[in-house]
């Protein structure tokens, strides 16, 4: 299996051996920086992950961890300047997207990979009808006529469960509720049946009951079309519900990767551990919450060594001087744990201690 190595390998190893089962998207050693007046902010520092068809990868992180920036780089919608991709490869179906020209990337966007944004109200154009915006996908990419595009738009709206689609196709975004707008965003991403969908905090702005509807819709559609899904979120609950595997990001690096069940049961990085302990539970009253001390780092001045060391309860001298690579995580007796990695010098203690 290449999942383990390609998803978690500290160094970008090639996976030529099993090209049949090659991942849909493979990000290798991606580096992104923002050149600002105050200095260079290193938002993404060597990120590796992969997604295959039908799989859900969740990228978990707090604000400023680089989770959104790395996916914007994959989509090719990074604001540049100030953002620049300074290194790495983004292999999509075997082709390195970073080597393609703007026009070629534009053709891939929308038809082969699409994105669902967090804030549907500001992502939709307020002066065009919903039908027009949905139909645009077909008109631009496929040259469909206006009339047919509208029919397609109605079809899509029905697909994502918007009632009375025929009447509502001529309405404007502000006439829809938050949940319905997010459905429209999903419909738009789905229009050309892409192979990969990147959803950036798709339910954060929604109420819990609506959140559940939208997540279920996304999961159903993913199954139906066998798409790869990258779910970017800060919510440990949402991730637990839908993800197959998780990459936890901190200060522009992936600090831990694991299959979803493993991560929650036995985290191998002190940051993940702290996060899991710091959230209150619905099914228990609980005592005082564990709180990770300190604050997320400023990307202009990332601490030397392991970026988490000033907040880490396990930090020692080596953590301040040496950046930990993403170690392959094993059982105590050395049995490899598939798909698991931890960028901690003391992952053994974190996992088994």
DSSP 8-state secondary structure symbol assigned to residue 192: T
CB of 11 to other proteins, least distance (A): 29
In terms of CB distance, is 105 or 234 closer to other proteins? Answer: 234
- Closest separation in Å from C-beta 121 to other proteins: 13
Residues that bind other proteins (CB under 8 A): 62-63, 177-180, 207-213, 215-216, 234-241, 243, 260-261, 264-265, 274-276, 278-286, 288-293, 295-296
Closest contact distance (angstroms) between CB of 200 and other proteins is 16
Q: How far is the CB of 256 from other proteins (least distance, A)?
A: 14
Residues 35/36/37/40 CA torsion (nearest 10 deg): -60
Distance from the Cα of residue 248 to its chain's centroid: 10
Q: Which is nearer to other proteins, 99 or 174 (CB)?
A: 174
The CA distance from 186 to 193, in Å, is 11
Q: Which helix (H) or strand (E) holds 107?
A: helix 102-111
Q: Which is nearer to other proteins, 97 or 251 (CB)?
A: 251
Q: Distance between CA atoms of 351 and 265, rounded to whole angstroms?
A: 10
For residues 230 and 238, which CB has a smaller minimum distance to other proteins in the complex?
A: 238
- CB 278, CB 272: distance < 8 Å: no
Listing DSSP states for 311-343 in one string gives G-TT--HHHHH-PPP-EEEE-TT--EEEEEEE-
Question: Is the CB of 28 or the CB of 311 nearer to other proteins?
Answer: 311
Closest separation in Å from C-beta 295 to other proteins: 5
């Amino acid at each position: 299996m290449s999942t383990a190595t390609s998803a978690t390998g500290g160094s970008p190893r090639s996976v030529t051996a099993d090209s049949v089962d090659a991942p849909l998207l493979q990000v290798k050693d991606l580096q992104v920086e923002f050149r600002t007046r105050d200095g260079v902010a290193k938002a993404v520092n060597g990120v590796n992950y992969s997604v295959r068809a039908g799989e859900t990868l969740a990228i978990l992180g707090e604000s400023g961890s680089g989770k959104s920036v790395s996916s914007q780089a994959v989509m090719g919608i990074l604001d540049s300047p100030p953002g620049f991709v300074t290194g790495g490869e983004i292999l999509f179906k075997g082709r390195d997207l970073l080597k393609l020209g703007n026009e070629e990337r534009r053709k891939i966007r929308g038809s082969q990979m699409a994105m669902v944004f967090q804030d549907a109200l500001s992502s939709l154009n307020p002066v065009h009808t919903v039908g027009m915006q949905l139909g645009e996908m077909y008109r631009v990419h496929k040259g469909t006529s206006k009339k047919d595009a509208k029919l397609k738009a109605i079809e899509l709206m029905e697909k994502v469960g918007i009632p009375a689609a025929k009447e509502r196709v001529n309405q404007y975004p502000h006439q829809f509720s938050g949940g319905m707008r997010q459905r429209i965003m999903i419909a738009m991403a789905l229009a050309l049946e892409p192979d990969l969908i990147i959803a950036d905090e798709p339910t954060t702005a929604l109420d819990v009951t609506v959140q559940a509807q939208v997540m279920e819709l996304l999961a159903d559609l993913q199954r139906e079309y066998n798409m790869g899904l990258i779910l970017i979120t800060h919510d440990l609950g949402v991730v637990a519900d839908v993800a197959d595997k998780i990459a936890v990001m901190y200060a522009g690096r992936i600090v831990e990767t694991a299959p979803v069940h493993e991560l929650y049961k036995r985290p191998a990085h002190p940051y993940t551990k702290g996060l899991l302990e710091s959230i209150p539970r619905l099914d228990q009253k609980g005592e005082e919450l564990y709180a990770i001390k300190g604050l997320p780092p400023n990307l202009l001045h990332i601490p030397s060594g392991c970026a988490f060391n000033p907040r880490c309860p396990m930090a020692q001298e080596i953590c301040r001087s040496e950046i930990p690579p993403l170690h392959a995580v094993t059982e105590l007796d050395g049995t490899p744990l598939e798909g698991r990695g931890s960028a901690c010098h003391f992952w053994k203690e974190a996992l088994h201690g």
